[in-house]
């Protein structure tokens, strides 16, 4: 089988290669621009959708070109192969999240106390008109969370709230969160911490609120993690809360792990 007839080059191979080469720098620029707050999240999500759509077209063109090259013996094997190989890692991300759709609930706001979740105050000023509301979604979200994450419960420490608060604040900072508000407990009043958490690759920003309340001679810690955009968090908020509670458990000895 020859790979060249009369100088013909597969146009589908050429366009597969062009689209793939275009998608890579646009993806990198989008990720960096969003990480450094040069573009907002809705813009970044729109660009990602365009990149993934273009990569899908590039992949299909590459596969189609390979078939034509094999049948007709025209040129373009290298370009078609490059287009296919380049787009596969780009499309792996949306395919991964598509799989998560089947395994995670429709939630974007998770807390250890759905009946009385920690409130967002400082975070409200950081959300634009396209972002989710800071108010807790309500009973339906609480029911979905109970079914999906029954292990997420309030956390108790055998020390007064005033002593627990700096430990909780230190654990929050150790998580890599940017603390934007902090108010220590005062008498019967609970202390509160608000922070911004960012995802690893694209630095999508979510909001976290922590409450440290007196509980008899000890203290009770509740945490809430909420996505700024989208109706689904793909399990991110629950995972963030688990990580925080695990670190807190390692740092201090609780009287009980969860509701008592």
Q: Are 215 and 156 in contact (CB under 8 A)?
A: yes
Q: What is the pLDDT of residues 146-185, one digit of tens each?
A: 999 999 999 999 999 999 999 999 999 999 999 999 999 9
DSSP H/E element including 144: helix 139-148
Tokens of 64: 């189609």
Q: What is the pLDDT of residues 200-253, one digit of tens each?
A: 888 999 999 999 999 999 999 999 999 999 999 999 999 999 999 999 999 986
Give, in order, the Cα–Cα distances in Å from 83 to each of 11, 25, 68, 254. 12, 14, 15, 55
**What is the CATH code of the structural domain delimited by 109-256?**
3.30.310.80
- Residue that the structure tokens 């700096």 belong to: 166
How big is the CA angle at 198 (ends 195 and 199), to the nearest 5 degrees? 145
């Amino acid at each position: 089988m020859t790979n060249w007839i009369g100088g013909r080059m597969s146009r589908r191979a050429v366009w597969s290669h062009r689209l793939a080469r275009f998608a890579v720098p646009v993806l990198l620029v989008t990720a960096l621009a969003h990480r450094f707050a040069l573009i907002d999240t809705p813009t970044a999500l729109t660009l990602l959708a365009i990149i993934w759509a273009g990569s899908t077209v590039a992949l299909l063109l590459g596969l189609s070109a390979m078939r034509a090259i094999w049948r007709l013996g025209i040129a373009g094997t290298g370009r078609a192969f490059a287009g296919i190989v380049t787009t596969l890692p780009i499309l792996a991300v949306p395919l991964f999240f598509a799989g998560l759709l089947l395994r995670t609930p429709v939630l974007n706001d998770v807390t250890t106390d759905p009946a009385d979740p920690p409130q967002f105050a400082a975070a409200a000023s950081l959300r634009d008109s396209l972002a989710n509301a800071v108010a807790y979604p309500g009973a339906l979200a609480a029911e979905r969370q109970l079914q999906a994450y029954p292990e997420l419960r309030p956390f108790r420490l055998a020390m007064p709230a005033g002593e627990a608060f700096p430990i909780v604040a230190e654990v929050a900072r150790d998580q890599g969160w940017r603390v934007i508000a902090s108010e220590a407990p005062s008498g019967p009043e609970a202390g509160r911490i608000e922070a911004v958490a960012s995802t690893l690759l694209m630095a999508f920003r979510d909001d976290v609120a922590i409450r440290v309340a007196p509980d008899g001679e000890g203290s009770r810690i509740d945490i809430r993690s909420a996505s700024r955009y989208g109706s689904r968090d793909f399990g991110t908020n629950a995972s963030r809360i688990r990580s925080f509670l695990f670190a807190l458990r390692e740092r201090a000895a609780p009287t009980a792990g969860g509701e008592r």
